Copies of this chain bind each other. A is one copy, B any other.
Amino acid sequence: MVGIQRLVLDVLKPHRPSMMDLAKQLSELKGVTGVNLSLYEVDQETENIKITIEGNDLDYKKVEVIIEELGAVIHSVDGVAAGSKLVEEVETPQDK
């Protein structure tokens, strides 16, 4: 059992700290092998970003703590992968 292997999060953050600081802090969490942050929308006070975290036996609670300590908030969990093999979403005719 390797638990959660990937989390995809929709996050609202203030401009400071920067995406670089948030990326580095998340990448140092136990079990995390890599993170990707991308910018969706920028407002006067905030920015909406998407965070993809990959690793072994990821601990969502610790991810949430880091994000909230930096003054950001998780809007929604958009994707989760778990198990010994990283499974991708499969498109079916119902998605078209």
Q: How extensive is the interface on chain A, given as a class?
A: 35 or more
Are B36's CB and A80's CB within 8 A?
yes
Interchain nearest-CB distance for A92 vs B (Å): 4
| Interface secondary structure of A, over-half rule | strand
Report 29 cross-chain contacts, Cβ distance below 8 Å, ordered by A residue.
A1-B27, A1-B28, A4-B23, A4-B24, A18-B77, A19-B80, A20-B80, A20-B82, A23-B81, A23-B82, A24-B82, A26-B82, A32-B83, A33-B85, A33-B87, A34-B83, A34-B87, A35-B83, A35-B87, A36-B79, A36-B81, A36-B87, A36-B89, A37-B81, A39-B78, A52-B89, A52-B90, A78-B92, A78-B93
